[in-house]
Amino acid sequence: MTNPDLALDYFIRAQKRLKAVAVLFEQAAFADVVRESQEVVELVLKAVLRRFGIAVPFSHDPSQSFIDNAHRFPPDLEARIPRFTEISRRLRRDRELAFYGSEDVTPSSFYNQADAVEAKGMAEEIVNAAAAWLTDAPGGT
């Protein structure tokens, strides 16, 4: 982890994706809201890991890295690890299904407004919670 600006870049890109999630929601593209919300969460959580000098896993769910490194975070962040883990794992489960579907699931008819509201809310929660640790990252504002 030699690029100190990468954490902030991830966070800024996640914030922009969250705006795209709002557009998808307005278009009733609920499966896409679920998928993009997962990507927002993944980017933000990986930004937090980078911010604290922790190697970013090659996984769409970085929650185990938070659990394994809990002692390296400030107490206010450490207290949020159970919620971060819950959100990351939940959205990770839906990542491929929401995008590709399967033989018995067509994403556009499987995911509904309630699913989208929940996923979008989780993404917003993560972005808002992580802002305190990321906006003062090296190279940050």
Q: Is residue 21 part of a domain?
A: yes
Amino acid identity of residue 44, one-letter, is V
DSSP 104: T
Identify the domain containing residue 106 by its residue range: 6-133
Q: How many domains does the chain have?
A: 1
Q: Is residue 109 part of a domain?
A: yes
Q: Is residue 13 part of a domain?
A: yes
Is the separation of the CB atoms in 89 and 95 below 8 Å? no
Q: Is residue 1 part of a domain?
A: no
Helices 30-51/6-26 angle, 10° precision = 170
CATH code of the domain covering residue 91 = 1.20.120.330
Q: What is the pLDDT of residues 83-137, one digit of tens each?
A: 999 999 999 999 999 999 999 999 999 999 999 999 999 999 999 999 999 986 4
CA 102 to chain centre: 23
Q: What's the rounded Cα separation, in Å, for the pair 14 and 126?
A: 10
Percent of the chain past pLDDT 70, that is, above it, reads 94
Joined together, the tokens standing for residue 115 give 């699913």
